[in-house]
Amino acid sequence: MRIRTALALALAVVSCFGDPPPDAEDLPLEIVVHPDECLINYPQVGPGIHEVTVIFEGTIGSVRIVGEGETVFANDTRTSGSAELVVGDYQVVCEANGVTRQIALSVREGLPPGGG
């Protein structure tokens, strides 16, 4: 009986912590485009294939992720997809209302879960 009680208590305590953050290599990227700014949820991730979601709030436009002159993601007519990112520096290029903004996106090895 004590073992069951101890196990139940241990499971209850562990469940309070919630899910651990995803590995830096698996972080989903969310890019939010407002009329006056462009935001990204993780400016630093690990190398890998990342799901990308683009959200336009109060505007329309386009988003590209560019690294070393190569576009690795473009939202053309879709608001989600994936991008394979290797170690290096990228620019998230947001275009809305005739204005172009850029955000730095860094891809590094050895980041802790949840990114850097």
Q: Give the separation between CA 95 and CA 38, rounded to whole angstroms.
A: 9
Spans of the chain, pLDDT less than 50: 4-15
What's phi and psi for 98, nearest 5 deg?
Answer: 75, 5
Q: Taking the domains of the chain in order of start, what are their residue ranges?
A: 22-107
What's phi and psi for 81, nearest 5 deg?
Answer: 170, -155
In this predicted model, what pLDDT tens digit does every residue of 7-28 receive, in sequence order?
344 444 444 567 788 899 999 9
pTM (2 d.p.): 0.80
pLDDT at 8: 41
The residue among 82, 83, 32 whose CA lies nearest residue 61 is 32
Considering only CA atoms, give the Rg of the chain.
19
Which 8-state DSSP code applies to residue 7?
Answer: H
pLDDT at 5: 45
pLDDT at 17: 63
Pair of tokens at residue 111: 């980041």
CATH number of 22-107: 2.60.40
